[in-house]
Structure 1
């Protein structure tokens, strides 16, 4: 499979833009911009970003969620997190074209730190679209799809497994299982792609393309990754399917990732 997503110099190109936002989502993006500014203000907010299917132009009304990242001047406080939660709930309630709203909070010191240079920094520079304020990408390097980026983005998959198993055991509703299946499957597909990303020498956020790129290099595990991609597109409440992903594909993928790229630098 031909994976591209690079600029003319071989660096990962920023994948989204406000010009790509589908017309059905313009109103919610405009409302997000206004409400973020009102809720946080210039003393707290450095900049705000969109990421995911909406700025990539692939969002489906009533199916896709709205993903936001806020860069704050200082470390997020409990009040900041409450404000973000209220923003999520209000946007989700007021705009039926989005199925859920997520707001990530980080401070600029973390996003620009050396430790996060090839994880959160890369995420902002390549996968986030500026919505408000100064673009932090101007203070970050360009990135190639190399082994360093692979290690620092997803070289910690194994740390997620105990939490996934605990959430599966504790899930008491279809809604809980849907949320778990969505997060697990997306993480597995993205990790499967970054495992082979240096060999593909390219970048994509497309779930199907990611799964097929992985399958080309690991045909014996192709069915499992294609299952993960299918669940990522259409979440499930089937516990057996989740068990296949969490107890079957995930441990193998974590071990293979460590063997190929090493472990991600530890975080506090």
Structure 2
């Protein structure tokens, strides 16, 4: 079964149009000649974003990610967040053209299936069709442990309440996405709607439904005790890791 693109048509609402245009212009000006293309995913390009509640997710594709200075990028994000409070947060991922073409089940998936091109030539068109399979699901999650460990450390060390709630929301979202990836062979589509992800996980995963409900509740309202949250997410990740290992073992036994 071939994965279909999540967003087929860009429908940015008027409340966010100026912000997206300004972000693209700032990035192109600051890193002149080094940007191949820029992509968005999530509610803003779908036209379902909620002013003052939704964040913005960008991916910058370039020849060499080292050409993009993170401090300069951070300064752009800070300026735009001040100018456009309609957006709650700006996340930017950076990758190379080689990443996308050489890792189709990881970076290729991110650009071809989840992202939509808002500037430049869409390199996702060069990525071959992505077939839903255990191999794809395992490849898709190769960096999940590293990402989860990073957020775990950041949350453990956070002293500011605003940052704590941001990390809890992000951590919850990342784990829901990871659990959803386990059931792709059952659903046949990649969802970016969190409630639909949750429903599919409850339908097809053998994980304790209370854990999934807790994660989703934290995604919606992240004002929970940090120690309590970390204990729950450790249990969730343990389930996910065991399921992924079982998938790999099953694949190898038939390979």
TM-score by shorter chain over 0.5:
yes
Q: Measure the CA separation in 2 of the matches of 1:172 and 1:158.
A: 24
Task: Tell me the secondary structure at the aligned position of residue 202 of structure 1.
Answer: coil
CA RMSD of aligned residues (A): 2.2
Tell me how far 1:237 sits from its aligned partner.
4.5
Q: Is the 8 A contact 2:148 2:171 kept in 1?
A: no
Q: What CA deviation, in whole Å up to 9, does each residue of 1:6-48 have, x standing for no partner?
A: xxxx53222225632222211111212222221222x211111
Contact 1:111/1:117, CA 8 A, preserved across alignment? yes
Q: 5+ unaligned residues in a row in structure 2: which ranges?
A: 250-255
Does the CA contact (< 8 Å) of 1:17 and 1:55 recur in 2?
A: no
Separation of aligned partners in 2, 1:48 and 1:212: 31
Q: Secondary structure at the match of 2:199?
A: helix
Aligned counterpart in structure 1 of residue 101 of structure 2, from 98, 112, 130: 112
**Please, which of 72, 75, 97 is the counterpart of residue 65 of structure 2?**
75
Aligned partner of 1:53 among 39, 43, 55? 43
List gaps (5 residues or longer) in structure 1: 1-9, 263-268
**More displaced 10-residue stretch of structure 1: 94-103 or 175-184:** 175-184
TM-score scaled by length of structure 1: 0.84
- Contact 1:211–1:222, Cα closer than 8 Å, also in 2: no
Return the offset for 1:82: 2.3
TM-superposed deviation, 1:226: 2.2
Query: Bigger CA drift: 237-246 or 50-59?
Result: 237-246
1:190 CA displacement? 0.4
Deviation at 1:193, TM superposition (A): 0.6
Q: Distance in 1 between matches of 2:224 and 2:51?
A: 22
1:26 alignment counterpart: 17
Deviations 1:128-181 (A, max 9, x none): 111111110121112233222211112554444544443343221212311221
Pairing 1:123–2:115 present: no
**Residue 167 of structure 2, aligned match among 180, 183, 206:** 180
Q: Partner of 1:243 in structure 2?
A: 230
TM value normalised by structure 2: 0.88
Deviates further, 25-34 or 231-240: 231-240
- Counterparts of 2:42 and 2:233, CA distance in 1: 24
Cα distance in 1 for residues equivalent to 2:124 and 2:189:
20
User: Which residue of the partner structure matches residue 183 of structure 2?
Assistant: 196
SS of residue in 2 equivalent to 1:20: coil
SS of aligned partner of 1:119? helix
CA distance in 1: counterparts of 2:214 and 2:207, whole angstroms: 13
After superposition, the C-alpha distances for 1:206-256 in whole angstroms (9 at most, x for unaligned) are 111111111112355222112212222333342244124322212222222
Asked whether the equivalents of residues 71 and 108 of structure 1 are also in contact (C-alpha less than 8 Å), the reply is yes
Give the Cα–Cα distance (whole angstroms) in 2 for the partners of residues 174 and 16 of structure 1: 34
Q: 1:235 to 1:18 in 2, by over 3 A?
A: farther
CA contact (8 A) 1:155 1:257 kept: no
1:4 — aligned with what? none
